[in-house]
Structure 1
């Protein structure tokens, strides 16, 4: 039986690589490699955005959170995400599409100059290297647990290397087309896994199980505790989820090349906007599905704590059910779905990092014109370079201890506010120049480092006072505010000058 499940997983890895290469076709130009010549269907881009932002930790942590105390709080969070993405679709995407960009940071070059573009790009690639290095290692933890349950104990490093090799196989040759098509397939697979789990669990707990989950508060969506400390530190407090979530989504989906690159691959502005807003709706459905898995697992396990079930944490609840509660082959298929969540994030990261390195740094700072053939070769070369660095980074984290999930979340807090703030500074402070923007960017990263690492708030939890950091959603608006204030003040120390207009530029082609 274990052999059958392992066979399913191996077949999946082979098939997904074949699909990526088959559907992507031969890449003829750097623009094709980076944005698919702007010809990708909006619905595949929509699914790719969702798959890109969904890590394996999302797949296993949302059911665990719903099982314990978060209930359907992630659906509440998704409402804020939809609002933020709608603002991005209205305010920023038209700017990118009309400019013919292949990178979000090309706008910063037009508005301020290439040095801010280079700073933003370097910030993006190194933030991604660290954040996704943590995620890849963190993903290897439950995957190793699942494979060990099948009698295959191969260790974290081997899992990381295998995932990297399979992902690079289609990302290196197929470019963004391969990434988007495989993302869509992988999203369908892990979401189908959640639906299968819901059906199986519903059959086992019956109508009474649904009633018990409702009576136990497992279907609660809104957190209406309006205490100041709770709002500042809790991700699911209503103002934090809606307002903070909206601003966080503006940064993650409006100024992060990982997402923007996908949106730029659509055929038209309208398609880009549909993909962006649609991704928020799909995320809400996805969050609801995984939350429902957690609520039904609570009824299935009769409300026992993870510790009473012999599990180290709530993150083990869904993998444990996959291993022990599902039929053979179906179990292997769901493990493959979890692998898909890892690979979709990884392939998107590698392609976008190669894109930003070539378009925003190498091409922008080169003293001579680089031919398109050379750009395409550089793009593939940088995909390999970042893959090796990502694998080393992920394996390096395997020697650390602590909560790697929280580590990954806090990394974005250092830079997202500065990235979004740079875009807003260019739009709102007309007299700001490149020096003002670079100064504001650097100061913001320093200030956010202090806030993330030092600032703590006393919160009462279960009758005990504990120190908690500021919720991730509030880090972005704080960073944006610092950027605008510093940039605005700096702009008053020099004569006003007309900013460079964001005229359309020739894409990397």
Structure 2
């Protein structure tokens, strides 16, 4: 097992590399650099970096861990994702570029009104805080167990140190910096994935095709669930996957902030679809690795040692306790590389949305550039502190599978965004704007009741990830009930 001191030293070296990248990319940075990278980002870099942002440490650890119970059924969601990404590329991105948006929630202001705009931005802030801190908790927990507790440091110290690291390299450059750091981190994560696949195959004395056949023989590579009553039924999962990518990418300021930092709409669309195809391949490789890890855990030499290791704990335990030191190092670097893109982009996007949408610093003529920058930096620090509090909350909850929890959170918090944007795009109705916040608050409450009592209401039929769609539909119908008159779509930017 690798020395904790050496592992910690390598983490520091890796972080210093990120600081060097940040220093080069954040020179002469302005608020526009922080928010949208001066609209000069290279689409290929954005596409590659988005893989790391979308996967995160949860995918790196949780997706392989689910294979033992769910086989490859998670890939049903990814098939749906591809459909959703096409909708983002060819329906939502043209609207955002035509309106020349910095915050995508300005669309709601121009289309529905100021209260709708505030409601949309508020739900994004809530959803991104919960989702990003859940992802952050998982990786901090692993780093604490493998490195920091050996120095007798409490869990909160590790979380604080990692957040300070992220602050240091995002504080000035924002999007302009993270487009480059995400590219570096995605590369490290994918290298780690490939190395781990190669090593487990070699330990099992299998080639690639032999591994595929072995997974098929055990039933681990089964993708489609055909039982309509199951929450994993393929139609439910594919539809849910489509709406997940539409909302968690196309209606999410963090993801769209990077996309609209690309100079032209055409390049941004190329970025989105290139990312979508590569993303499918990468997730399939994660599932393949998960199957191999379960085969490894079930093999005669490992069966006793790994008998009680399940779910999120499987990959880290094998990588850090049953692999050579060099592979353990690669795993830790890959894990950190999966952590940082989801956390750095989230804090940057939350800062952007809060400054633009909630505080309205771009609408305030009384603030000069220096005051705006100062406000932005204070908000950035505030969100880092909030992240620390939420990470400690997830530590207290100690949920065994974070990916399930994150998707559940998304169903409640992104549903209202889906309803708001769908209403704006698919209809030309206006609404009494002051009533919109009521609708978007009532909708998740109704969904919670529906989810909690689904067995009494539907018997054996299970509601799964389609809760997001149901939430969006309730929001949409609620908006339809608010009186309003048809109007032409406003295309004013912010």
Normalising by structure 1, what TM-score?
A: 0.88
Q: Does 281-290 or 446-455 show the bigger shift?
A: 446-455
Alignment counterpart, residue 421 of structure 1, candidates 415, 419, 422: 419
Identify if the C-alpha distance between structure 1 residues 410 and 299 changes in structure 2 by more than 3 Å, giving closer, same or farther: closer
> Partners of 1:497 and 1:240 in 2: how far apart?
33
Identify if the C-alpha distance between structure 1 residues 428 and 212 changes in structure 2 by more than 3 Å, giving closer, same or farther: closer
**Number of the residue aligned with 2:409:** 411
Q: Establish whether residue 286 from structure 1 lines up as the match of residue 273 from structure 2.
A: no
Shift of 1:65: 1.7
Shift of 1:242: 1.5
Shift of 1:418: 0.8
Superposed CA deviations along residues 163-186 of structure 1, whole A, max 9, x for unmatched, are: 101000011122112122111111
Identify if the C-alpha distance between structure 1 residues 361 and 49 changes in structure 2 by more than 3 Å, giving closer, same or farther: same
8 Å contact from structure 2 (residues 75, 284) kept in 1:
yes
> Partners of 1:396 and 1:9 in 2: how far apart?
25
> Partners of 2:26 and 2:103 in 1: how far apart?
20
**Number of the residue aligned with 1:26:** 28
Superposed CA deviations along residues 481-502 of structure 1, whole A, max 9, x for unmatched, are: 11221111223xx5x2525x33
Shift of 1:190: 1.4
Superposed CA deviations along residues 316-341 of structure 1, whole A, max 9, x for unmatched, are: 22112211333323311220211121
**Structure 1 unaligned blocks of 5 or more:** 460-464
Identify if the C-alpha distance between structure 1 residues 47 and 152 changes in structure 2 by more than 3 Å, giving closer, same or farther: farther
**Number of the residue aligned with 2:377:** 380
How many aligned residue pairs are there?
A: 486
> Partners of 2:224 and 2:106 in 1: how far apart?
39
**Number of the residue aligned with 2:454:** 455
Shift of 1:198: 1.1
Shift of 1:109: 0.8
Shift of 1:49: 2.2
**Number of the residue aligned with 1:353:** 350
Superposed CA deviations along residues 424-475 of structure 1, whole A, max 9, x for unmatched, are: 111223222224544432332332232344434799xxxxx9x896212x01
**Number of the residue aligned with 2:291:** 295
Shift of 1:114: 1.8
Q: Establish whether residue 92 from structure 1 lines up as the match of residue 92 from structure 2.
A: yes
C-alpha RMSD of matched pairs (Å): 2.6
> Partners of 1:306 and 1:453 in 2: how far apart?
38
**Number of the residue aligned with 1:10:** 12
Shift of 1:56: 1.4
Shift of 1:152: 4.6
Which residues in structure 2 correspond to 1:455-474 (within 5 Å)? 455-456=454-455, 470-472=463-465, 474=466
Which residues in structure 2 correspond to 1:176-255 (within 5 Å)? 176-207=175-206, 210-223=212-225, 225-227=226-228, 229-230=229-230, 233-234=231-232, 237-255=233-251
**Number of the residue aligned with 1:462:** none
Task: Tell me the SS of whatever aligns to 1:219.
Answer: coil
Identify if the C-alpha distance between structure 1 residues 332 and 457 changes in structure 2 by more than 3 Å, giving closer, same or farther: farther
Shift of 1:251: 1.2
**Number of the residue aligned with 1:330:** 327
**Number of the residue aligned with 2:360:** 363
**Structure 2 unaligned blocks of 5 or more:** none
Q: Does 336-345 or 130-139 show the bigger shift?
A: 130-139
